[in-house]
Structure 1
């Protein structure tokens, strides 16, 4: 599937909110969560503190997926250190999964980090969820960094992955 990745504008925010929450719900990541769905749906705030990117159908401009790209010290940065970039909240519309949308978003984040001269890109994935996402990251060269694994809430274990851009 051919997709175009571009910066999200305010006209995209409702679609991004809808598909992000739907993707996280479909993967079971919002079961028992209190409030994270609201954070995922607040695309305007994410856009104020990072770069929200969307993958769109090049013919219809329909939003198929999104991701938030951030730098260390910004509101949504969790793992990145000096000289590193990070992406968060990568989501693909459940109807578009398996078509290369997630890969296009990851590649766009890596290209953006490379263009900014970053030494690495960080991401965290929830342990026990999104095995396909973990495979996607591993195929692109991301490796586990167990020392950076963390848990924001009891029962929510996040695994750190890093892609070295200096090699």
Structure 2
């Protein structure tokens, strides 16, 4: 079940985000700094909408939808809505939760009458990146590396 984030969800979101990224510990040059930033995921609710996935009353995933014109990193066009921090608890993977969360972001972009939606990701994310490509996202340019890991910007046309 998907629903909008509530402030009471902050700790569960942090836990899921940290668990979701744990497999990448060897990839980032400064893991403590990276996890400090991952743990700030609930703060994205200040500039966007966090969507929460629940299974049996447990939060098992989340994503932030940052709408058109909302503040976002400079490597994105300011007019684009952006998908940020898609996370799924490792114990809940393989159930389509990531796809459901991404599809909800697409619905919100359409609600906002955006012609495209964007995200940035990295080839080390061997489940997420192929899912985005299957959903119609295409790589448009490099994004700045994050602690030694290369990233790129992907965009999907809507409508």
Is the counterpart of residue 21 in structure 1 residue 13 in structure 2? Answer: no
The match for 2:43 is 45
Query: d(CA) in 2 for partners of 1:40 and 1:55?
Result: 18
Deviates more, 1:133-142 or 1:65-74: 65-74
Cα RMSD, aligned residues only: 2.0
Shift of 1:79: 4.2
Off by >3 Å, runs of 4+ in structure 1: 27-31, 72-80
Task: List runs of 5+ in structure 2 lacking aligned partners.
Answer: none
Task: Report the Cα offset of residue 81 of structure 1.
Answer: 1.9
Find the residue that maps to 1:14 and give its secondary structure: helix
| Cα separation, 1, equivalents of 2:112 and 2:49 | 13
Q: Which residue of 1 aligns with 2:155?
A: 162
**Does residue 105 of structure 2 align to residue 112 of structure 1?**
no
| Structure-1 separation of matches of 2:42 and 2:114 | 25
Residues 46 and 82 of structure 1: CA distance in aligned 2, closer, same or farther (over 3 Å): closer
Q: Is the 8 A contact 1:24 1:30 kept in 2?
A: no
Provide the TM-score with structure 1 as the length reference. Answer: 0.84
Contact 1:83 1:120 in 2 (8 A): no
Which residue is 1:131 aligned to? 126
C-alpha separation in 1, matches of 2:75 and 2:26: 20
Aligned equivalent of 1:54: 52
